[in-house]
Amino acid sequence: MHEYSVVVELVDALLPRLEEHEGEVTAVFLKKGDLRILSDRALRNAFDVVAQGTRLEGATLEIEAIPASVACRSCGYAGPAKTLEDETLHFAVPVLSCPICGTDVEIRSGRELSVDRVSLRTTAEETA
């Protein structure tokens, strides 16, 4: 599963940035586009494993899905990508052609994979 390598990079990039902030990390909020074929469950499991022994241990990984949207240069369509539902794949596969005229489209969203924010519990909150 390449989810583990994605999470290793995420944790390696995040830990140095957290050094300037005090408090317990309670959650990491990730934005993940629908075109990123990554399992949310596998990402969360990998996060739990990779975070062990770090400041992120015990934090939850919250994942916000960003739907795929496209734009067509031929007919002007702009909106959600059509999806192919296939039970054998266990997920919907975005179709990257225009749902109106069938030509190639430009991807507007759905490829994102980024940390949106981190939730910290500070000592002031613990004593309140």
DSSP conformation letters of 10-25: HHHHHHHHHTTS-SEE
Domain spans, the chain? 3-123
* Residues paired with residue 93 on neighbouring β-strands, in sequence order: 84
Q: Is 127 helix (H, G, I), strand (E, B) or coil?
A: helix
pLDDT 10s digits, 91-116: 666 778 898 999 999 999 999 999 99
Q: Tell me the torsion sign for CA atoms 16, 22, 27, 30.
A: negative
What number does CATH give the domain 3-123? 3.30.2320.80
Provide the whole-model pTM.
0.81
pLDDT 10s digits, 48-77: 999 999 999 999 999 999 999 999 999 999
